Structure 1
Amino acid sequence: MLVQRLGAPSDFDPLLERVRDARIVMIGEATHGSYDYYRLREQLTRRLVAEQGFDFVAVEGDWPDCDRVHRSVVGAPGGLADPQTALERFERWPTWMWANAEVARFCRWLRAWNMEQPEGGRAGFHGLDVYSLWESMQAIFDYLGEEDPASLEAAQEAYRCFEPYGKRVEEYGMASRFVSARCEEEVVRLLARTREQAAADGPDCFSAWQNAEVVAGGERYYRAMVGGGPESWNVRDIHMADTLDRLLDRYGPDARGIVWAHNTHIGDARATDMAADGMINIGQLARERHGRDAVTLVGFGSYRGNVIAAPRWGSPAEVMVVPPAREGSVERRLHELMPERAVLVFGGPDQPGWVTGEADHRAIGVVYDPTFESWGNYVPTRLADRYDAFIWCDESTALHPLPAHTTPGEMETYPAGV
Structure 2
Amino acid sequence: MKLHQALNAILLALGVTAAAYAADGMTPGQWLEANNTQIISTSPAYPDYTDLAAFGKAIGDARVVLIGEQTHGEGNVFELKNRIVQYLHKKKGFDVLLIESGMVDGTALWDYAQSGGKIADQAPGRIFYMYSRTKEGRGVLEYVDSQRTSKRPLILASYDTPHAGLESINRLLPDLERFLAARQSPALADPRWQAYLRAAQAVVSDNFNGPPSDADKQALIDLTPVLLAELDDSVAASGRMFDSPGFWRLQIASIRAGASDQWQIDNGGVAFWAARDQQAAQNIAWLADKFYAGKKLVVWAHNFHAGAFWGYTLGDFVIQHFGQKDTYLAGFVGYAGATRNMDNSTIGEIPAPRAGLIEAEWRAAGLPMAFIDMKQRKNVPDWVWSIYARPFNYTDVDWPIFYSFHGLFYVDQPVPATPIP
Superposition TM-score, scaled by structure 2 size: 0.76
Secondary structure of residue in 2 paired with 1:292:
coil
**Structure 1 segment 324-403 matched on structure 2, within 5 A:** 324-346=352-374, 347-364=376-393, 377-403=395-421
Of 251, 275, 283, the residue aligned with 1:243 is 283
Alpha-carbon distance, 1:284 to partner? 1.5
Alpha-carbon distance, 1:168 to partner? 3.7
- Answering whether residue 299 of structure 2 is matched by residue 259 of structure 1, we say yes
Extract unaligned runs of 5+ from structure 2. Answer: 1-31, 42-48
8 Å CA contact 1:151–1:193 kept in 2: the answer is: no
**Structure 1 segment 106-145 matched on structure 2, within 5 A:** 106-117=140-151, 121-132=152-163, 135=168, 138-139=171-172, 141-142=174-175, 145=178
Alpha-carbon distance, 1:292 to partner? 1.1
8 Å CA contact 2:318–2:327 kept in 1: the answer is: yes
Secondary structure of residue in 2 paired with 1:36:
helix
Paired AA for residue 372 in structure 2: L
**CA 1:228/1:354 → structure 2, altered by over 3 Å: closer, same or farther?**
farther
Aligned to 1:181: 218
Alpha-carbon distance, 1:225 to partner? 3.8
Rounded to whole Å, the distance in 1 between the matches of 2:80 and 2:383 is 24
Rounded to whole Å, the distance in 1 between the matches of 2:217 and 2:142 is 48
**CA 1:129/1:207 → structure 2, altered by over 3 Å: closer, same or farther?**
farther
Rounded to whole Å, the distance in 1 between the matches of 2:169 and 2:245 is 8
Rounded to whole Å, the distance in 2 between the matches of 1:136 and 1:192 is 24
Aligned to 1:102: 136
**Structure 1 segment 274-353 matched on structure 2, within 5 A:** 275=310, 280-310=312-342, 316-346=344-374, 347-353=376-382
**CA 1:210/1:173 → structure 2, altered by over 3 Å: closer, same or farther?**
farther
Rounded to whole Å, the distance in 1 between the matches of 2:217 and 2:173 is 25
**CA 1:182/1:223 → structure 2, altered by over 3 Å: closer, same or farther?**
farther
Secondary structure of residue in 2 paired with 1:182:
helix
Rounded to whole Å, the distance in 1 between the matches of 2:227 and 2:313 is 27
Rounded to whole Å, the distance in 2 between the matches of 1:196 and 1:23 is 20
Alpha-carbon distance, 1:15 to partner? 0.8
Paired AA for residue 234 in structure 1: A
Aligned to 1:5: 38
**CA 1:197/1:380 → structure 2, altered by over 3 Å: closer, same or farther?**
closer
Rounded to whole Å, the distance in 2 between the matches of 1:197 and 1:354 is 47
**CA 1:60/1:265 → structure 2, altered by over 3 Å: closer, same or farther?**
same
Alpha-carbon distance, 1:49 to partner? 1.0
- Answering whether residue 125 of structure 2 is matched by residue 85 of structure 1, we say no
CA RMSD of aligned residues (A): 3.3
Paired AA for residue 105 in structure 2: D
Deviates most, 145-154 or 124-133:
145-154
Aligned length: 369
8 Å CA contact 2:202–2:212 kept in 1: the answer is: no
Q: Which has the larger radius of gyration?
A: 2
Rounded to whole Å, the distance in 2 between the matches of 1:196 and 1:246 is 8
Aligned to 1:414: none
Rounded to whole Å, the distance in 2 between the matches of 1:46 and 1:362 is 24
8 Å CA contact 2:103–2:159 kept in 1: the answer is: yes
Paired AA for residue 76 in structure 1: Q
Alpha-carbon distance, 1:165 to partner? 5.1
Alpha-carbon distance, 1:216 to partner? 2.5
Deviates most, 193-202 or 43-52:
193-202
Alpha-carbon distance, 1:397 to partner? 0.4
8 Å CA contact 1:84–1:104 kept in 2: the answer is: yes
Rounded to whole Å, the distance in 2 between the matches of 1:188 and 1:122 is 37
Aligned to 1:44: 84
Aligned to 1:410: none
8 Å CA contact 1:345–1:390 kept in 2: the answer is: yes
Alpha-carbon distance, 1:144 to partner? 6.3
Instruction: Provide, for residues 68-115 of structure 1, a one-character-per-residue CA deviation record: whole Å limited to 9, x for no partner.
Output: 33235xx413x5x22221212338xx6224432223222222222231
Rounded to whole Å, the distance in 2 between the matches of 1:294 and 1:166 is 35
Alpha-carbon distance, 1:339 to partner? 0.3
- Answering whether residue 94 of structure 2 is matched by residue 54 of structure 1, we say yes
Of 76, 82, 99, the residue aligned with 2:114 is 76
Alpha-carbon distance, 1:213 to partner? 1.8
